Chains A and B, each alone.
Chain A
Amino acid sequence: MAEVKLMKGNEVIAEAAIRCGCDGYFGYPITPQSEVMETLMLRKPWEETGMVVLQAESELASINMVYGAAATGKKVMTSSSSPGISLMQEGLTYLAGAELPCLVVDVVRGGPGLGTIQPAQSDYFQAVKGGGHGDYHLIVLAPASVQEMNDFVDLGFELAFKYRNPAMILADGVIGQMMEKVQLSDYKPRWTDEEIEKISGDWALTGKKANRQRHIATSLELDSYKQEVFNQKLQAKYREMEEKEVRCEEIACEDADYLFVAYGSCSRICQKAVQLAREKGIKVGILRPITLYPFPTKEIANLAKKVKGILTVEMSAGQMVEDVRLAVNGLIPVEHYGRFGGVIPTPDEIVEALEKQIIGA
Chain B
Amino acid sequence: MTTTAERRPTTTIFRRPRSTTGFWSWITTADHKKIGIMYGYAAFIFFLVGGIEALLLRIQLSAADSTFLTAAEYNAAFTMHGTTMVFLFVMPISAAFINYLLPLMIGARDVAFPRMNALSWWIFLFGGIFLYSVLIFSDPAAPAGVEGVPGNLDPADNTILGGMPDGGWFGYQPNAGPFYSPGTAMDFWALGVQFLGLASLISSVNFIVTIFNMRALGMRLLRMPVFVWMSLVVALLLLFSLPIIAIALFMVTFDRQFGSLFFVAEAGGDPILWQHLFWLFGHPEVYILILPAMGIVSEVLPVFSRKPLFGYAAVVIAGAAIAFMGFGVWAHHMFSSGISPVAQAAFALSTMTIAVPTGVKIFNWMGTMWGGRLRFTTSMLFAIGFVAMFVIGGLSGVTHAVVPSDWQQTDTYYIVAHFHYVLFGGAVFGIFSGLYYWFPKITGRLLSERLGKINFWTLFAGFNLTFAPMHWLGLQGMVRRTAYYPPEAGFDFWNLVATVGAFIIAAGVLVFMYNWWRSKKHGEPSGIDPWDARTVEWTIPNPTPEYNFGVSPTITSLDDFWHKKYSSDSEGRPVRRPEAEETLEDLMETGINPPHPIHLPAPSYYPILFAAGIPLVGWGIIFHTSLVGKLLILVGVLVVASAAFGWSMEPLEEPHEEHDEDHSDQPSGSGYSSYGSDA
Q: Do A and B bind each other?
A: no
Residues of B at the A interface (CB closer than 8 Å) are none
Residues of A at the B interface (CB closer than 8 Å) are none
